[in-house]
Structure 1
Amino acid sequence: MSAMLRLTHKSIGVEVRRGTYDVEVDGGHVGAVDMNDTVEIPVEPGHHTVRVRDGRNSSRPRTFDAAEGDIVAFRCTGKSFLPLFLASFFVPSLALRLVRE
């Protein structure tokens, strides 16, 4: 049995970056998640890093520990507070966010 990584791409209100996000776990591409969709990706128990990408923009890496049978959930969004949104045009790593649920 393995653990499960659940990613939901959902935003409340207006979101500029509405495309599909590529999902990376431990530096390797493992799938994609569309707007208003959820994907579940099996992972081995242990310590992992997850990141989502939209072209050249990417979230900051988020680490998590998963035990056998666990479901680890994150919500990904391109929506930020206005100052971060404006700054994301100059610093692409601010463009996407992963929030642990």
Structure 2
Amino acid sequence: MSAMLKLTHKTIGVEVRRGTYEAMVDGKQSGNVELNKSIDMPVEPGRHTLQIRNGRNSSRTTTFYIADGEIASFRCGGKRILPIFLLSFAVPSLALSLTRE
């Protein structure tokens, strides 16, 4: 028996990155998930890493452990910048520091 990894690309509200996300499991391209869709991928029980990519943007690498017969579920979306964007109206210097390189 094996375990299952379920990825869902779903957001609430405005989605800036509408493209297909690429799922990297243990550093290898393992599948693609489109906006408002889910994918299921069989994985071996044990320790794994997961990273989501969209062009040059990528998530932090997440480590998860899964046992035989279990399902590990993750939701991915590109909405993390919205609270910073809204906060920049109250603290304008924050917007400048985000764009400076």
Q: Which residue of 2 aligns with 1:72?
A: 72
Q: TM-score scaled by structure 2?
A: 0.82
Q: Which residue of 2 aligns with 1:12?
A: 12
Q: Gapped runs of 5+ residues in structure 2?
A: 87-94
Q: Gapped runs of 5+ residues in structure 1?
A: 92-101
Q: Which residue of 1 aligns with 2:83?
A: 82
Q: Which residue of 1 aligns with 2:27?
A: 27
Tell which structure's C-alpha radius of gyration is larger. Answer: 2
Deviation at 1:90, TM superposition (A): 6.8
Q: TM-score scaled by structure 1?
A: 0.82
Write the distance in 1 (CA, Å) between the matches of 2:45 and 2:69. 8
Q: When you count strand as a share of all residues, which structure comes out higher?
A: 1
Q: Which residue of 2 aligns with 1:97?
A: none
Identity rate of aligned residues, in percent? 54
Q: Secondary structure at the match of 1:83?
A: helix
Deviation at 1:82, TM superposition (A): 2.7
Q: Secondary structure at the match of 1:72?
A: strand
CA-atom RMSD, angstroms?
2.0
Match of 1:15, as an amino acid? E
Deviation track 1:37-74 (CA, whole Å, cap 9, x = no partner) reads 00001000000000110011000011100100000000
